[in-house]
A = this chain, B = another copy of it.
Amino acid sequence: MIGIFDSGVGGMTVARAIEQLCPGFPLVYLGDIARTPYGSKSPAIITEYSHRNTEFLLKQGAKLIVIACNSAASTASTFLQSHYSQSIIDVIAPAVAKAAMVSSNGRIGVIGTRATINSGLYEQRLQASLPGCRVYSQACPLLVPLVEEGWLERRETKMIVKKYLHPLRDKQIDTLILGCTHYPLLKSMIAPRIGRRVHIIDSSVEVALHLKKILETDDLLRTTLYAPDTPSRFFVSDIPAPVHALASKIFGRTVLLEKTDV
């Protein structure tokens, strides 16, 4: 199975993209709702949680891990990749590769949680992929709670998006990475405010495309993971009342959430 973890249900945007692009490859998802959000927590605690989540997914039979949460990926991916022999794909590398490819002027914006932006990992990897590029990063800590409240069309959300994007407006960026799984849900609000000509890169879609390519080229991995009759499973470490509706909304179809202790 393909293991995917996130701090909550936001990573279901990644699960959904993988299900659509890689049919026949069953998923095992873990949303760590009991400890959500990660983006405001310390690198030490995010790494600890990411480690536990990976252990859980491997025990469930995952043969490859996707770190769907940008906060976890930016903080813990180096540790996890060195600690495990299994393939560990994070949501950051494919978005960086795409940005390096589409940017013409080498001026790239990144928005994310505080943990993601403070880690500096997007900036570091963009510099490695596109030496000399200019990266402008902006933490947008209120966007996750706004999305989780379902305030996707509200005037208050528009004002807050505008405020966060303001420092990026005069930087002549031609590419903006949505460095958080929740942000694609605000894409129609972000696009006109950053400028219609700016390429917007959805890290969820890019990681799914990247995985698709790997499965097309790596015969061993494809054979190991292909199991069209095995149903995908979705675990969460807490089930607060509104989460079923939110998960199904994000995933695009009804999903059964199973409660587990991590």
Contact = CB atoms under 8 A, between A and B. Distances in A.
Contacts of A227: none
A188 interface: no
A132 interface: no
Contact of A118 (B146, B149, B239, B241): B241
A163 interface: yes
A150 to B, nearest CB: 10
A206 to B, nearest CB: 28
Interface in A2-37: 33-36
Interface size class of A (residues with CB under 8 A): 20 to 34
A40 interface: yes
A238 B241 CA distance: 26
Contacts of A146: 142
Given A40-B148, A42-B239, A145-B145, 17 more contacts: A33-B41, A35-B35, A36-B40, A41-B240, A44-B238, A45-B237, A45-B238, A114-B240, A118-B241, A141-B145, A142-B142, A142-B145, A142-B146, A155-B159, A156-B156, A156-B160, A159-B159
